[in-house]
Amino acid sequence: MIHDNIAGAVGNTPVVRLTRLFRDEPFEVLAKLEYLNPLGSMKDRAARHVIESWLADGTVCPGTRLVESSSGNFGIALAALAPLYGLRVTCVLDPNTSATNLAILDSLGADLDMVWERDAGGGYLETRLARVRELVARDPAVVWVNQYANDLCWQAHYEQTAAEILTQVPDGLDVLVAAVSTTATLQGIARRLRGRWPALRVVAVDAFGSVIFGGPSAPRRLPGHGSSRVPELAATLEHDDVVYVRDEEAVAGCHTLLRSEGILAGASSGAVVSALRSVAPSLPAGARVLTLFADRGERYMDLVYAGTADARPADLREPVDVR
């Protein structure tokens, strides 16, 4: 199939069986490789769905500026896809933005708005959100995407990602294990899959120090996994279990995944690998488990892949809160 642009190439990512990583287990683990989306992450899906939905209902039109507090995958997806529809993008960032992501966003032509003042919690999240609100209030032509509260984000995965899974794994699933941040991915997929398989067990993989499920806030260093605020979308998340993973465990999981399966994935994928080890004793023989590897590992080279699985990178020994 030939697409008119990269927006048409979003989705239809493959599913692979992790035959080496879990070879000695009595259950089967499948992974949907979301990092093979054109911009390198599953956020491509939500970005495209939001843009196309808003263009269709008149929320935005060519020339509208989208603004989002994002220095990672969602910002990159918006920055690449929005101009294809005649839209402009402003990403509100903070000093914790990685040099790689900053270079990507700049190369894509996004307007970068950096905040420097820490918020009351010692991070930057509330400062970034205040800046977003300021930009929206100042210009009626600016629209805030707000991935933490935008129902279109989980609907993208309900309508697209989960539909692909139903086609790719028609024989059924017993367990869904996925990392959370905004919770949109897990919410959209779980809702649709449970419509087919009501007994599906849904396991959310969160970061130690994240507050999504009411845990105490603590410093975190790995971006794209967990959150220092409770996403509005989380209020309707349907899940059975939560597994918390520390930064160093996620790093070790990334190294194990690369070494065993040749998959170079991001930090949340390493967290999923660690979480699967935790839930393994509770999985019945013959169970079929599905997970998702959300983004590429190249964006985490300095943070995750420097060192070995047995020796954590130096900058993880003194974690910095990514709020």
Domain with CATH 3.40.50.1100 in the chain: 6-40+152-292, 42-144
Alpha carbon distance 286, 27 (integer Å): 5
Tell me the helix, strand and coil percentages in the chain, rounded to 5. 40, 15, 40
268: closest CA among 27, 31, 6?
31
DSSP character string of 96-157: TS-HHHHHHHHHTT-EEEE-----TTSSSHHHHHHHHHHHHHH-TTEEE--TTT-HHHHHHI
As a whole number, the mean pLDDT across the chain is 93
Q: What is the mean pLDDT of residues 47-70?
A: 97
What per-residue confidence (pLDDT) applies to 312?
45
What per-residue confidence (pLDDT) applies to 13?
98
The single-letter code of the amino acid at 305 is: Y
Alpha carbon distance 193, 185 (integer Å): 12
Q: Which two tokens stand for residue 22?
A: 């879990």
Q: Report which of residues 140 and 151 the model is more confident about.
A: 151
CATH of 42-144, one of 1.10.3720.10, 3.40.50.2300, 3.30.540.10, 3.40.50.1100: 3.40.50.1100
Task: Check pLDDT > 60 for residue 18.
Answer: yes
What per-residue confidence (pLDDT) applies to 307?
62
pTM to 2 decimal places:
0.92
Task: Check pLDDT > 80 for residue 272.
Answer: yes
> Over the range 218-246, which residues count as b (16 or more CB within 10 Å of their CB) and which as e?
ebbbbbbbbbbbebebbeebebeebbbbb
Task: Check pLDDT > 50 for residue 323.
Answer: no
Alpha carbon distance 100, 224 (integer Å): 14
Alpha carbon distance 109, 264 (integer Å): 27
Q: Which two tokens stand for residue 66?
A: 């989208």
Which range among 66-75, 162-171, 222-231, 310-319 shows the weakest confidence by mean pLDDT? 310-319
What per-residue confidence (pLDDT) applies to 122?
77
Q: Report the DSSP beta bridge partners of residue 91.
A: 68, 112
Task: Check pLDDT > 80 for residue 14.
Answer: yes
Alpha carbon distance 185, 274 (integer Å): 19
Q: What is the mean pLDDT of residues 188-216?
A: 97
What CATH architecture is 6-40+152-292?
A: 3-Layer(aba) Sandwich (3.40)
Could you tell me the CA-to-CA distances from 41 to 29, 51, 109, 131, 243 in Å, in that order?
Answer: 20, 17, 19, 26, 22
What per-residue confidence (pLDDT) applies to 125?
84
